[in-house]
Structure formats: structure tokens, C-alpha cells
């Protein structure tokens, strides 16, 4: 079986085909040019620096290309890294299809759509339901194909819809515990909270921020989608349902310093923020711990205060590793 990036141990030399996820041409303090790469295969992503890069190499090694990478797996500041010793663009008949190296969710499309429809059935308010259905129809396949982020959490093909589904599971459980929650507002907020990523990001392969994504951001983009949907459906954009739905989207990062233009002022907005944070945190920690041997600490997770997490060695009575 062909080994993947994270199958190699620290200090081990290797040769493997990988996808260039990002390639950032930079200049070191000593004035020498280099390329900061992020390589990817189905096991995850790993960074590597390509020193003394020529102009031709900067042009050749572009995101989306499959390359044969030779190097050694190392560690830098608690993060796995590749010490590059050789790099060339793959050629036919080598395995050069970029889709072979893309991380993706394990949940099937049919299952995602079924769960999504089950949650949509609980959006009882007709105004909110019409807006959500309208936006999903306009977004189309992007909702199911796009990642939920460029890095950190659910940053894989299909991550956007999977992130929404796992959040919907949490939300439906909370609706049973806290019946005072407005199901239409909470579930619609979950479904739409990251819908702006379909504009903010370039797509599932070699994901980058678009110009609109950099200048406006997914939170405001989603609020604009709601306004546009209301106009096209001849719904009063000043109605309480529309304003409340926009608010839960605009406030879902929780704090101004986290990118939300407003802080939560509605019960469902506060709860949506906690659900989003919980699901994103679980994904980041799960990914890091899946690459960690029991009895060791994971790589540091920058969004979680750059903490490393310990993976216990004991196994629960169920037989599942903790």
C-alpha cells in the first residue's frame, strides 16, 4: 500500500506524489527567494520551504499541480514539516490527477441531503423557510462541494455541508433540551451561517480567498444573500424575521475581535455561536489527535491558543481508543 504524508515518522526520508495546496513566493531576511509550500494528500496537509527558488520554479510549482516530492519529515515549533530535498512536476502516466490527493468527508452526499431536508422540515416560519430554500437553490452544488475554511477546521472538500450537518445534530438536540429556542431561527442560522464561504473561497481544490472574500468576508456576504433573497421573493427586508435571521448570521463569531460586526443580542444567535465553536473545535482536535500516537501530545493547534493535546493510552471498555 502506498504510504501517505502522515504515514511517515519524524526523521524518515520519503518520496511521494502530493498535491500543491498553496505556494507562497517569499524573500528571506538574507534576501534569498523561497517558496512556502503547503502539500496535501488524503492524509492531511504539511508545510515545507523550498529555498533559493528561481523565477522559473515559482512559475512551475503552482497550486493545483501534482508533484513528486522528496524529503524528510521533520518538526518545527510543534508542527509537522517537510525538509525538501527534491521536487518535480508529475507527468503522465504517473498519478497526476489532483482529485487523488484531496481530503474529503466520509459522509455520503445522499445522507447529507437527507439530514438537511429533515432539518429544513423543522424550519416552520414560512418567511425564514422560503429564504433558506431560495439561497440553497442559488448556491447549488457549491454548498456540498466547498470546504468550510481554507485551513483549520473542516478544510476539506465537502466540509461546508458536513460542518452544517454536525451542527444541525447539535442544534436539534438542544431544541429538545431547551424548548424556548426558536427552531426556525436556530436551524436556519446553522444552515446559512457559513453559506458566504461559497463566495469567499475559490473552491475545494487549492483553496484560496477570492477578492470578494478578502474585501468583504463570508459573514457580510451571507447577510447580503439574505437581503437579495428577500427582495427576489418580495419579502419585506425590514420584517422581524429577516432582521433576526441576518443578526444570527452576523453575530455567529461571537465577538467583534473574532470578525463579527455585531455581538449576539438574540438567544439563538448566542447559541449558534457556541454550536459553531464547539463543532469547529472538535474537528480541529479530532484531526490533530488522529495523527498522534497514544501516550503523546498532538501537534500544536494555533486557533486553540497554540495548545497541544495529550492522547491517553488507556482504552475504554467499549474497545474504542479514548
| pLDDT tens digit sequence for 132-153 | 999 999 999 999 999 999 888 9
Average pLDDT estimate for 242-246: 98
Tens-place pLDDT, residues 296-310: 899 889 899 999 999
Q: Report which of 6, 255, 279 is spatially closest to residue 160, judged by C-alpha positions.
A: 279
* Whether residue 277 is found in the same domain as residue 132: yes
| Full domain range(s) for residue 37 | 5-101
In sequence order, the 6+-apart residues with CB closer than 8 A to the CB of 227 are: 237, 242, 246
Percent of the chain with pLDDT over 70: 98
Same domain, 127 and 97: no
Between helix 159-177 and helix 267-290 the angle, nearest 10°, is: 130
pLDDT digits (tens, 9 = 90+) for 180-225: 999 999 999 999 999 999 999 998 887 889 999 999 999 999 999 9
* Same-domain pairing of 63 and 130: no
One domain, residues 261 and 123: yes
Residue 314 lies in a domain: no
- The CA distance from 193 to 75, in Å, is 35
| Of 101, 130, 163, the domain-final residue | 101
Q: Are 253 and 219 in contact (CB under 8 A)?
A: yes
The answer, yes or no, to whether residue 276 has pLDDT greater than 80, is yes
Question: What is the tally of structural domains in the chain?
Answer: 2
Q: Which of 59, 56, 168 is nearest to 112 (CA)?
A: 168
120 and 62 assigned to the same domain: no
pLDDT of residue 132: 98
Q: In this predicted structure, what is the pLDDT of residue 317?
A: 63
Backbone angles phi, psi at 128, to 5 degrees: -65, -40
Q: What is the CATH number of the domain that holds 60?
A: 2.40.50.140
Total-model pTM: 0.86
DSSP string, 57-81: HHHHS-TT-EEEEEEEEEEETTEEE
Do 168 and 79 share a domain, yes or no? no
Query: Is 315 a domain residue?
Result: no
CA separation for the pair 242, 34 (Å, rounded): 49
Kindly report, residue by residue over 14-33, the tens digit of the pLDDT.
999 999 988 999 998 888 89
Cβ pair 66, 95 in contact under 8 A? yes
Given pLDDT bands bounded at 50, 70 and 90, which one contains residue 316?
Answer: low
Could you give the C-alpha distances from 153 to 1, 130, 160, 253, 257, in angstroms and in order? 28, 29, 10, 14, 19
Over range 231-243, report the average pLDDT.
Answer: 97
Cα-based angle 86, 150, 61 (whole degrees, multiple of 5)? 25
CB neighbours of 61 closer than 8 A, spacing ≥ 6?
Answer: 20, 23, 35, 37, 50, 53, 67, 87, 89
Pairing of strands 79-89, 44-51: parallel
Q: What is the largest CA-CA distance in the chain?
A: 63
pLDDT at 320 over 70: no
Please check whether residue 26 lies inside any domain of the structure: yes
Show Cβ contacts of residue 46 under 8 Å, excluding neighbours closer than 6 positions: 5, 6, 38, 39, 40, 73, 80, 81, 82
Cβ-proximal residues to 50 (8 Å cutoff; 6+ apart), any chain? 34, 35, 37, 57, 61, 84, 87
Task: Check whether 265 has a pLDDT greater than 90.
Answer: yes
Is residue 220 in some structural domain?
yes
Of 257, 322, 260, residue with least CA distance to 286: 322
The mean pLDDT of the chain is 92
68 falls within a domain: yes
Residue 322 pLDDT greater than 50, yes or no: no
Q: How far apart are CA 122 and CA 120, in angstroms?
A: 5
Q: What is the pLDDT of residue 102?
A: 86
Domain membership of residue 48 (yes or no) is yes
**Alpha carbon of 102 to those of 32, 89, 152, 159: distances in Å?**
31, 17, 15, 12
Cα–Cα distance, 201 to 318 (Å, whole number) = 40
Q: Are residues 172 and 131 in the same domain?
A: yes
Question: pLDDT digits over 54-88, tens only?
Answer: 899 999 999 889 999 999 999 887 788 999 999 99
Query: How many residues comprise the chain?
Result: 322
Average pLDDT for residues 274-285, to the nearest whole number?
97
Residue 319 has pLDDT above 70, yes or no: no
Say yes or no: 95 and 31 in one domain: yes
What is the predicted pLDDT for the residue at 31?
86
Shared domain check, 195 and 92: no
Amino acid at each position: 500500500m502506498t504510504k501517505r504524508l502522515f504515514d511517515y515518522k519524524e526523521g524518515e526520508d520519503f518520496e511521494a506524489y502530493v498535491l500543491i495546496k498553496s505556494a507562497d513566493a517569499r524573500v528571506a531576511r538574507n534576501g534569498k527567494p523561497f517558496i512556502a509550500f503547503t502539500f496535501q494528500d488524503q492524509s492531511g496537509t504539511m508545510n515545507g520551504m523550498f529555498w533559493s527558488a528561481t523565477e522559473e520554479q515559482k512559475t512551475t510549482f503552482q497550486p493545483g499541480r501534482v508533484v513528486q516530492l522528496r524529503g524528510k519529515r521533520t518538526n518545527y515549533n510543534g508542527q509537522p514539516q517537510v525538509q525538501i530535498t527534491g521536487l518535480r512536476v508529475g507527468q503522465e502516466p504517473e498519478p497526476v490527477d489532483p482529485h487523488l490527493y484531496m481530503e474529503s468527508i466520509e459522509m455520503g452526499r445522499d445522507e447529507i441531503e437527507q439530514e438537511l431536508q429533515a432539518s429544513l422540515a423543522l424550519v416552520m416560519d414560512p418567511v425564514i423557510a422560503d429564504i433558506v430554500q431560495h439561497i440553497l437553490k442559488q448556491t447549488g452544488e457549491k454548498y456540498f462541494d466547498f470546504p468550510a475554511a481554507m485551513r483549520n477546521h473542516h478544510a476539506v472538500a465537502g466540509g461546508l455541508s458536513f460542518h452544517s450537518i454536525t451542527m444541525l445534530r447539535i442544534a436539534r438536540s438542544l431544541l429538545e433540551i431547551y424548548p424556548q429556542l426558536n427552531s426556525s431561527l436556530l436551524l436556519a442560522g446553522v444552515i446559512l451561517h457559513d453559506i458566504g464561504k461559497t463566495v469567499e473561497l475559490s473552491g475545494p481544490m487549492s483553496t484560496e480567498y477570492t477578492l470578494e472574500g478578502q474585501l468583504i468576508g463570508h459573514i457580510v456576504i451571507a447577510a447580503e444573500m439574505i437581503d437579495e433573497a428577500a427582495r427576489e421573493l418580495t419579502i419585506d427586508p425590514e420584517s422581524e424575521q429577516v432582521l433576526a435571521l441576518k443578526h444570527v448570521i452576523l453575530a455567529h463569531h461571537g465577538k467583534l475581535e473574532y470578525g463579527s460586526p455585531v455581538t449576539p443580542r438574540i438567544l439563538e444567535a448566542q447559541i449558534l455561536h457556541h454550536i459553531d465553536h464547539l463543532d469547529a473545535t472538535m474537528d480541529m482536535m479530532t484531526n490533530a489527535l488522529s495523527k498522534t500516537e497514544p501516550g503523546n501530545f498532538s501537534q500544536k493547534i494555533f486557533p486553540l491558543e497554540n495548545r497541544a493535546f495529550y492522547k491517553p493510552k488507556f482504552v475504554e471498555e467499549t474497545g474504542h481508543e479514548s
